[in-house]
Amino acid sequence: MRKTVLEAVGLRRTYGPVRAVDDVSFRLTEGGSLGIVGESGSGKTTTARIIVGLERADGGRILVHGRDRDPRTRGRARRLARAREVQMVFQDPFLSLDPRTTVGAALRETLRLHFPDTDPGPRITELLDQVGLGAREADALPRQLSGGQRQRVAIARALAVEPAVLVLDEAVAALDVSVQAQILNLLADIRERSGIGYLFITHDLGVVRCVTDDVVVMRHGRIVEAGPTARVLADPRHPYTRLLLESVPRPGWDPQHISAARRAL
């Protein structure tokens, strides 16, 4: 039985009168892949930002390998150790990369921050090779790369610190369909080789079907359904999950029917 690498217990986050995250709990196993799905405003991205540490929860706990990820951690060494546990890949890699810094320099800066006593050269070559890039891309600025190449750089930078969990927030949503497939295949290969755990934040059920073992469905900040991906997508038990599945465009798709169903929930 695979060990639990990440556990969220009763997470809560409120903005004024709005409960963006309301008693959210789930587990991610070592080498596993968990999807969190829902419409805009469902609370999935806020949940991801809490997991990574970009936002602080009002309540609940986050554990990595059974250790509490206390957001009040003090001391530079402890903060860096906490940052290495969970890394995030965002939807738009162009916004998350410094436009004035080459790919190689960005990776070197990350490695020197977290592993100051190690020569970054060999590791940079290894990371670029891992994501299908090479010396040419290492010398390039972000604007000189395609969207898919920039996302590969973002993935390499996240992997540089050897995290236990990689959070991917709509990480392929801005890419062409063919490039999406390449990135998803790349992520599948990395997970198989490294045993890293993935937390996919997405509204795309096609992505969920392809790359996740388990799925959590969120609506209005709460989990309405959870379970193995194959079971949830084949036999959804909550009306909202069925609505999400019916909203996927296909021949004969009727958007007016979907709008009526949404109002009835």
pLDDT, average across residues 169-182: 86
Q: Looking at the structure, do residues 259 and 202 belong to the same domain, yes or no? A: no
- Number of structural domains (the chain) is 2
Q: Where are the alpha helices (DSSP H) in 115-237?
A: 120-130, 135-138, 147-159, 177-194, 205-211, 229-234
Q: Looking at the structure, do residues 248 and 169 belong to the same domain, yes or no? A: no
Range of the domain at 249: 236-265
Residue 244 lies in a domain: yes
Residue 138 lies in a domain: no
Q: Looking at the structure, do residues 177 and 82 belong to the same domain, yes or no? A: yes
User: Which CATH number covers residue 214?
Assistant: 3.40.50.300
Closest CA to 162 of 196, 191, 208, 119: 196
Residue 204 lies in a domain: yes
The per-residue pLDDT for 73 is 64
Query: pLDDT, tens digit, for every residue of 211-257?
Result: 999 999 999 999 999 999 999 999 999 999 999 988 765 544 444 44
Q: Looking at the structure, do residues 240 and 219 belong to the same domain, yes or no? A: no
Q: Looking at the structure, do residues 173 and 244 belong to the same domain, yes or no? A: no
DSSP-derived pairing of the beta strands 59-64 and 4-15: antiparallel
Sorting pLDDT into bands at 50, 70 and 90, what band is 83?
confident
Q: At residue 111, does pLDDT exceed 90?
A: yes
Residue 176 lies in a domain: yes
Q: Looking at the structure, do residues 79 and 23 belong to the same domain, yes or no? A: yes
The per-residue pLDDT for 72 is 67
Both structure tokens of 85: 């546990």
Least confidently predicted of 5-9, 43-47, 155-159, 169-173: 169-173
Q: At residue 190, does pLDDT exceed 70?
A: yes
